[in-house]
Amino acid sequence: MAEVSVKCPTCGMELKAPNEEELGKTFKAHTHEVHSMEMSEEEATQKVKMMRSGM
Ligand SMILES: [Zn+2]
């Protein structure tokens, strides 16, 4: 199965998911749980896409 990943811009932790949509959810959960940041799922997915295109 193909896998996508991004590094958290705040702590550098690598987050992985089967696709970009899931990765958005993973990123949202990570920033909420670890960094107490609030963002919508749409915003999280946008950031994931931006980070991935920047790599
Ligand atoms: Zn982090």
User: pLDDT tens, position by position, for the chain (55 residues)?
Assistant: 679 999 999 999 999 999 999 999 999 999 999 999 999 999 999 999 999 997 5
Q: How many CA atoms lie within 13 A of 53 on its CB side?
A: 6
Residue type, 32: H
Tally of structural domains, the chain: 1
- In this prediction, residue 54 carries a pLDDT of 77
The tokens describing 19, both together, are 């696709």
- In this prediction, residue 1 carries a pLDDT of 63
- In this prediction, residue 55 carries a pLDDT of 57
Domain residue limits at 36: 4-53
The CA distance from 7 to 52, in Å, is 9
Distance 21 CA to ligand 1 centre (A): 18
Distance 24 CA to ligand 1 centre (A): 13
Distance 51 CA to ligand 1 centre (A): 14
Rg of the Cα atoms in the chain: 10
Distance 11 CA to ligand 1 centre (A): 4
Distance 9 CA to ligand 1 centre (A): 7
